[in-house]
Amino acid sequence: MEKLELFAKGCLGTCWYGKYHYMEPWAGCGHDCPYCYARFRSPVTSKLAELKAVFNDPEPLYPEEELLRRIAETANSGEIKILKLCRYTDIFTPKFVKNGLSFKVLRTLADSKVGRIIITTKGLPDRDIIALIAANPAKFSYNAAVRPSNGVIFEKELQPLKARLEAAAEIKRSGALTTIHIDPFVAGFDDEESSLRPLLEEMKALGLNRAMFSYLLLCEEMARGIAAVLKPAAFEAVKANYDLSASKQYLPNQSETVYWSLKPEVKRRSAEKTAAMLSEMGFDFVLCSLKNTPGLDTTRFKGAKLCDGKFYA
């Protein structure tokens, strides 16, 4: 049975096929997104029970001094070349940005032998964190996870979109590779002209011209969480795009990664609309499903790249 550990090798079936490590400094996430797969995974729920914590009030795996010491020891061992933050949480979960622990973790990593630190976040870094990344632009890649504004409003605990995009733009100006990750991308909503174009225009105005998209995963547990925060009509419209009679396991040897699939015609229509808009507006982009959308001719779209994990890293 998989356990939530401070460091773990990247899992097979994901980008780069295990040629990187994850780091999980705490269990849980203060963003508390209802669609988050992590809140339902047994490594997370087991660790939260052990720590006597709840998902939306995360707890470090160890006391601060021990946590930073363990991170420094492993990060300086020479074993880890590429480190992804994080699989089951967010390095910028709000309370750890506020109390300075996020900065201390990143400073420890920046001073270590780790060659590349890949951050994907829905959070907002503070001034100290932005300065740290700016001082080490070759060591970091920064991926801001955002969504367009429309009738599907999941998150209640995120900082304003404008502030998160402006932070990403400042980090990009420092020379760090910066990508906007529109995630989770909701077919039939986020791909609409009235929804997506304003976001893309705001990104372009800030100089953010790299984007990638990952479609919303859905299973029974996630659906229940989403149904609790969406208006009934919106929830039914989202669910209608999935084939509830067909599910697949996304990662080998991990039975908890079983999700419903988007209906093939919905997925293709959405991918085509989205790729066409990105291409027209001059973005470099990856739409994660471009490589596995049957019948989609990706050569039609200028700027499109098939995802091999390296686009954002």
pLDDT at 81: 94
Q: Work out the number of other CB atoms within 10 angstroms of the CB of residue 130.
A: 18
CB 86 within 8 A of CB 25: yes
| Start-end of H helices in 12-110 | 42-51, 64-75, 94-98, 101-110
Is the pLDDT at 151 greater than 90? The verdict is no
Is the pLDDT at 296 greater than 80? The verdict is no
* Alpha carbons 216 and 70: distance in angstroms, whole number: 34
Is the pLDDT at 155 greater than 90? The verdict is no
Q: What is the pTM of this model?
A: 0.91
Higher pLDDT, 201 or 14: 201
> What value does the mean pLDDT take over residues 44-63?
97
Residue 3: phi and psi, rounded to 5, are -115, 150
pLDDT at 10: 78
pLDDT at 245: 87
pLDDT at 137: 98
What average pLDDT does the chain have? 90
Is the pLDDT at 300 greater than 80? The verdict is no
The domains of the chain are located at 7-300
| pLDDT, tens digit, 9 for 90 and up, residues 216-238 | 989 999 999 999 999 999 999 99
pLDDT at 51: 97
Of 31, 60, 37, 23, the closest CA to residue 216 belongs to 37
The three-state secondary structure class of 185 is: strand
Of 212, 221, 180, 229, the closest CA to residue 37 belongs to 221
The least confident of 15-19, 149-153, 223-227, 259-263 is 15-19
pLDDT at 268: 86
- Region of 248 (left: φ > 0; alpha: ψ -120 to 50; beta: rest) is beta
Q: Which residues pair with 140 in a beta bridge?
A: 117
| pLDDT, tens digit, 9 for 90 and up, residues 162-196 | 999 999 999 999 999 999 999 999 999 999 999 99
- The structure tokens 């047994």 sit at 42
Q: Which residues pair with 289 in a beta bridge?
A: none
Write down the CATH number for the domain with range 7-300. Answer: 3.80.30.30
